[in-house]
């Protein structure tokens, strides 16, 4: 089974070898970091087992409630993580804390009301905000403490923080995020045409903002998430 892989590796150019080496270094660094921060690893597992399924279920439930039976027919009206998780998105979340689940397919023309798609798209991020608030209840009641010695407290705080990041990140008005669907279906026709033109390049814009312009990403996502985290857990 290793023979095809070895053959492919032998065909790599020097530049490709450098890229592979950098990726391997990045992955090993993240794994080493997670080994030293087990509370973070468990928080990411909670995101996979709870936050991602709840997020996608919220989309599915909103769509079915508004008249589109597609999510039910495709088996997405469930909290079973196996129905929602994407393999590559799961691996990336565990390694780097950034990942995704399989999007729920929705057909806007089946939805009741002018803003049906807006409510369906909004349901996902709102579910992450609700999970963050629920996660903070223990802190507010004094049942959970955020101290260096509190493994459970650190894990729950990370869970809350990641949910807040997902909330703000998904509201960015760029495809394929929920914010793009919300903005698109609220926008006048002329603006919708602009969204249509930008859509093919949206992924590259997101990557550039996240990796090439980390200050912008921090200002839009990390800063507000940290502010809300401090507000929620005191």
The residues that are catalytic are: 56
Residue 74 near residue 84 (C-beta atoms within 8 A): no
Euclidean distance between CA atoms 133 and 137, whole angstroms? 7
Kindly tell me the sign of the dihedral angle through the C-alpha atoms of 166, 170, 176, 181: positive
Closest alpha carbon to 111 in 38, 185, 165: 185
User: Which residue is associated with the tokens 């703000």?
Assistant: 168
CA angle 59, 51, 127 (to 5 degrees): 45
CA separation, residue 3 to residues 7, 8, 18, 19, 210 (Å): 6, 9, 22, 21, 37
Euclidean distance between CA atoms 43 and 107, whole angstroms? 33
């Amino acid at each position: 089974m290793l023979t095809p892989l070895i053959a492919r590796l032998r065909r790599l150019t020097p530049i490709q070898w450098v890229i592979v080496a950098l990726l391997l270094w990045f992955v090993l660094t993240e794994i080493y970091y997670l080994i030293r921060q087990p509370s973070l690893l468990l928080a990411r597992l909670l995101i996979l087992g709870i936050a991602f399924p709840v997020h996608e279920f919220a989309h599915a439930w909103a769509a079915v409630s508004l008249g589109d039976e597609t999510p039910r027919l495709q088996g997405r009206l469930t909290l079973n993580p196996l129905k929602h998780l994407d393999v590559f998105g799961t691996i990336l979340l565990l390694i780097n804390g950034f990942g995704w689940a399989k999007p729920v397919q929705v057909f806007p023309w089946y939805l009741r009301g002018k803003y049906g798609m807006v409510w369906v798209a909004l349901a996902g991020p709102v579910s992450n905000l609700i999970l963050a608030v629920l996660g903070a209840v223990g802190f507010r009641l004094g049942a959970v403490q955020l101290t260096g010695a509190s493994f459970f407290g650190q894990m729950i705080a990370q869970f809350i923080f990641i949910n807040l990041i997902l909330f703000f990140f998904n509201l960015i008005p760029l495809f394929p995020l929920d914010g793009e669907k919300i903005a698109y279906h609220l926008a006048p026709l002329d603006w919708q045409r602009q969204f249509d033109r930008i859509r093919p390049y949206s992924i590259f814009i997101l990557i550039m903002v996240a990796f090439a312009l980390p200050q912008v990403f921090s200002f839009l996502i990390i800063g507000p998430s940290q502010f809300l985290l401090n507000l929620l857990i005191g």
